[in-house]
Structures are given as structure tokens and as C-alpha cells.
Structure 1
Amino acid sequence: MNKQLEVIIKEEKGRVDKVLAARLADFTRSQIQQWLKEDAVTLDGEAVRANYKVKSGDHFVIQIPEPETLTLEAENIPLTIVYQDSDLAVINKPQGMVVHPSAGHPNHTLVNALLYHLDDLSTINDVVRPGIVHRIDKDTSGLLMVAKNDHAHESLAKQLKDKTSLRKYVALVHGNISHEKGTITAPIGRSKVNRKMQAVIEDGKPAVTHFTVLERFDQFTLVELQLETGRTHQIRVHMQYIGFPLAGDPVYGPKKTLKGNGQFLHAKLLGFTHPTTGENLVFEAPLPALFEETLKKLRKND
């Protein structure tokens, strides 16, 4: 059963997430932001957005959901470990695998497999995300770095934040991109229309994606993409925004598309500085079989 809290604004000013975080000492700001995302915070019966500026007399009602208990179990799931040492591992995640457990995916995730195959994982994140430094979507395949201890985790996370790590993707998109290269600079945040989607919005977080055309087909283009930032669904949202949505994307792409198991998006290249040795490491993963077969068919049809 949900717990209900009520907060009445007196003299406080500013964004609702900051004000509620200050008033509700038992909860973190990130928890409050999650409630806002889930429309669990209402004002006069209407869901409130995180950037809403509070006014004197505002009466907020918060429905705090009962926490769902997630138990982590090691599962003997096949895993392609590209590299590992005492500090970290690099995994080639298959398409269709969720990275860590959540309410909708309590098991059969990459984390469950990591617990079985690796002896140690960092503890910086919450209990359901041990070792996870960054994520890729369930239906995106390719390379992920995993930290085995907290020192490695902090180093790898800092490299991501400082934009010194290298992440390149290959995607098949609808349409024919006429120019050879481009950069998409457009802020991304939760969609105002559909709260389950991301979108380019004016008050979103900065997001930058660079792309290079690799190959053109009649109705599709194969592109290489390099991330400068790591927003949720960044490549999928940015390519849709410029009119070239990913083939097979069930959320941001058209209904009439290529047959597959989700978007044709593969994290093919991953580079970073080793947290202990300082060595520059670069790893590359080949395209999944279905991706390669689809390209062969497109070449044949052309």
C-alpha cells in the first residue's frame, strides 16, 4: 500500500524538486525526482514536473510507492568477456539483454550474469547495479566496461564525465543522409507528450552526437556515431530529431521498418585509460550476425 505525504509551501522558493528535498530530510533529491518522473507528486490533482517553481500556498500530495524488494542472484547466462583483469572487465552485451535488474526485469540481466562469471564487482552503485559504470539499452548490442572495485569504478566514471573515454557506435537509419559528416547538438530530456520517452526539449540536458556516413543504400544509411555525452536514448532521439530514425526502433522509429529484434544499433568501439596502469585500452566488437545479414541483403537489393 502506498504511503501518502502532504507538503504545504510557506515561504520557500525555487524548483519543486529542490524545495521538497529540503523539506523531506528522509528522502534524497534523486528519489524525489524519480517520484516526479512517475507522476507521483500532484498539485490540485495534476502531476507536477521537476522544473515547476513553487508558490506560497501550494499544497503537494506525494504518493510514495511501496519499495519492491529485488534480490540479486548469480545466473549462469552465457557472456562474452572481451577483456578482464583484477580491476575491470569489458563485456560484449548481446541484443535483448537488460543491463541491471529493475521492477520490470527482476532477473536474467547482465548483472545476474556478471555475478556468476566474475569474482568481484564494485559497490559504488545501489545493490542492483554492482560494477555497472554505464549502460546501453536492452535492444542495443555491444561493449560495456564493468568495474571490479571502487577505485576502478571512480576512475572509469570520471573519464565518462570528463569526456575522455571513447565510445563509437554503428547504426542503420531510415533515409539517405546526403552529407558525409555531421554533429547534432540538441538538449535531451523527458518528453512533455509521453513521459516514458525522451525527446529534444529546450530545458533538457546538453547532448552532443557526432556521425559519419559509412555506406548508403536505397532507403537506408549506415552511420558511425561518436558520443560526447551519454543521455538516455541519446542516439535514438538525436537521429529521429534530424529526420533519420534508427531502423527497427520500436519507440522512436516508424512502424514500417526492417525485421529484427529492436533497433539496429551496436556499440562497436570502447576506449579508456586503465585505472591502475594508465595504459590506453581500445576494444572493438564485430557487428551481430543479424545486423551483418541485414546489410548483405540491402547490398544485394541495391
Structure 2
Amino acid sequence: MMKRKNNTLFQLQFVVKESGLLREFLAQHEISKTTLTAIKYRGGEILVNGQSQNVRHKLQPYDQVTVLFPPEQVSDGLTPQEGALSILYEDETLLVLDKPAGQSTIPSRNHPSGTLANFVCGKFEREGILSTAHMVTRLDTDTSGIICVAKNRHIHHLLSKQMAQDLFQRQYTAFAQGIITTPFVTIEQPIGRKEGSIIERIVRQDGQYSKTDVSVKAHYRNAEDCFSVIDLTLHTGRTHQIRVHMQWLGHPLVGDDLYGANLDVFPRQALHCSGVSLLHPITRKRMHFTSPLPEDMKYYLRKSQQVCGFSQQQQL
């Protein structure tokens, strides 16, 4: 059970089923030693039947355990700002957003303000939520679609574990240059930083393991070029993973001038996070979120003509 009221601490409540030490009980509920240290020294508390206890306390069946998490400070360099957020889902633990293309996820030297994280912190401040913006997923500035935000460090920890176990699934829709003739391909190529660049990544054998599934849905042509509509599933989360893997495949994303495509054809990389599936961090129920294609990608399709290819066409 989870609970939060304005200007109060985020808390989780549990009912004990078997006797044992409080420390062991909390570990079973994936509350880490780092979190316990923060609770002890930064203003949190652990209650058993309403009484403050330490982790050596002996629990009995039907005891009620309440974990009060400490307040969190807004991260350095992150100024709360008022701004519009497109909210797909929200509860006491999660905030699922639909990010437009052109907005950065977090502040950087080039985009110090006006980012999604700035607006999330502004929302938290306005609503009395004592936390910072925990961006569980991120998207490049010119990529649109779904972003998941945790409202507490512990929730971020739980969702990060899901991602490491491939339980947190992300689906993308993209336009790739040229006609991809194979209906389905899995790309498992390591990705690392390109020498001499702090931004660009490449496939390199000493890079990090990376895996992307690519499913071709349709082929189109227009006055500029032919392109393939593809769905992609990420099994790892490397920087620019889809963009690098598609360049390696020989079919860079439409509009992705950083990775070899023509920016004059489309003003950004034609990439959209269209679906996210995760286990709720507390209830463990499977949740699915979807986002339709943005208008610029829809318009690019409308001015194009489908050509011979696969009979299955994605509903866009």
C-alpha cells in the first residue's frame, strides 16, 4: 500500500505474514541498504504498529510496517519551472508523460531550462511533493514519445531493476531510409563512443552489449526517397541505440543527419517512443502505455505513397 499527502513524506505500508527481523523483511521488499541509510540520517522513519523501530526489531505476524521515506532535494542544476506536461498516467509512485519533439529530457549546457525535468520539478513543487525528477527513461531532444518518471528514489531503484531484467519494455516507431527487405531482424552489436566526439556513438567491438529488434511494417516512397516504416523493441538502453543500430544496418533514420541521413527530407530523426510496458513497482501488475504518432510523422506518411512490400501495415 502506498500513500502520500501534500508536503508529507512518501510512505509504503506492509502487513507482516511471518515472524522475523525487520531488516530481513525490508530486504524482501527490495528496500536497499542505501535507502535504509537515507531513512536513518535524512529525515525518514520506520514504524511498526505506529511505533518507531530500528532494523533489529523482531516482527510478528500481522504487524503493520510503515516506511516513511526522507524528503528529497531538487537535483543540482535543476530549477523548478512551470510548463505544460502531457500526462498519460499518474499515481503516487509514477508519472508517465508524452514528450514532444524538440524538448530536452534533462538540462544540459545547450538546454539549461525548459526541459521536461524542469517542468516535472515545477509540478512537484506546486503540489507539495517532496521529491526531484527521477527520469527512469530518457529520449533525445528530437525524439518524441513516452517517458517514465519515478516520484521517489526507491521507486526509481525498483524500475531500474526491471530494466536490467528486461521486464521494462519500450517500443518505438520510426522511418528508416530505403527499402528493408527482411521482415524482422535482431541487431546485437556493441555500442561505444566515437573517438573525438562527445555526442556520436558507433558500433565498436569494445563497446557495450546492445540489442534491438526491428520489425518492418510497410514501405513508402515520396518525391525525395523511399523509406520503411519500422517498429523497434529495445532490450538494452544505450545512448542513441536505435539510431546507431539502424546506421549499422545501412538504413539510417529519416532526418537523422548525425548518422548519415538527409536533414532536408525531414527536420529531425523520425523516431517516436510509441509504447511502454512495465510492472507497477508496488502492485506488480503489468501496465501498458501507448502514444500515437505525432503530427509531423503522420504528415510525412500522408504525402507519401505505399509501395509493394509486406501485406501487413501498421495502423498509424
Deviation at 1:278, TM superposition (A): 1.3
Change (3 A) 1:301 1:183: closer
Match of 1:97 in 2: 103
Q: Which residue of 2 aligns with 1:191?
A: 194
Q: What are the equivalent positions in structure 2 for 1:39-58 lying under 5 Å apart?
A: none
Aligned residue runs from structure 1 range 126-137, under 5 A: 130-137=133-140
1:233 to 234, 240, 256: 240
* Matches of 2:93 and 2:199, distance apart in 1: 35
Residue 277 of structure 1: how far off its partner (Å) = 1.2
Q: Conserved in 1, the CA contact under 8 Å of 2:254 and 2:262?
A: no
What is the alpha-carbon distance in structure 2 between the residues aligned to residue 102 and residue 297 of structure 1? 35
Instruction: Name the aligned partner's letter for residue 152 of structure 1.
Output: I
| Alignment counterpart, residue 153 of structure 1, candidates 153, 156, 164 | 156
What is aligned with 1:210?
213
Q: 1:83 aligns with which of 58, 77, 89?
A: 89
Q: CA separation of 1:109/1:73 partners in 2, compared to 1, >3 Å: closer, same or farther?
A: same
Residue 238 of structure 2 corresponds to residue 242 of structure 1: no
Between 280-289 and 250-259, report the one with greater CA deviation. 250-259
Match of 1:282 among 274, 281, 288: 288
Q: Is the 8 A contact 1:189 1:203 kept in 2?
A: yes
2:184 is matched with which residue? 181
> Residue 273 of structure 2: which of 234, 259, 267 is its match?
267
Q: Is the 8 A contact 2:257 2:263 kept in 1?
A: no
Question: Once the two structures are superposed, what CA deviation does each residue of 1:118-156 show, in whole Å capped at 9, x if it has no partner?
Answer: 343755xxxxxx311121111000001100012211111
* Offset at residue 204 of structure 1 (A): 0.2
Cα 1:140–1:274, aligned 2, differ >3 Å: closer, same or farther? Answer: same
Identity within the alignment, %? 38
Contact 1:70 1:102 in 2 (8 A): no
Deviation at 1:224, TM superposition (A): 0.1
Amino acid at match of 1:200: V
- Tell me the secondary structure at the aligned position of residue 213 of structure 1: strand
The answer for unaligned runs of 5 or more in structure 1 is: 1-68, 124-129
Structure 1 residues 49-78: Cα deviation after superposition (integer angstroms, max 9, x where no partner): xxxxxxxxxxxxxxxxxxxx9643222221
For 1:113, the equivalent position in structure 2 comes to 119
Contact kept? 1:121, 1:147, Cα under 8 Å: no
Alpha-carbon distance between aligned partners in 1 of 2:131 and 2:202, rounded to the nearest angstrom: 32
TM-score by length of 1: 0.71
Q: Is the 8 A contact 1:141 1:267 kept in 2?
A: yes
**Which residue does the alignment assign to 1:47?**
none
One-letter code aligned to 1:187? P
Return the offset for 1:97. 0.7
Aligned length, in residue pairs: 227
The gaps in structure 2 that reach 5 residues or longer are 1-74, 309-316
Q: Partners in 1 of 2:306 and 2:164 — Cα distance?
A: 42
The amino acid across from 1:201 in the alignment is R
Under a length normalisation based on structure 2, what TM-score does the superposition of the two structures give? Answer: 0.68
Partners in 1 of 2:131 and 2:81 — Cα distance? 18
What CA deviation, in whole Å up to 9, does each residue of 1:190-234 have, x standing for no partner?
Answer: 013544310000100000000101110131000000001000000
Residue identity in the other structure for 1:209: T
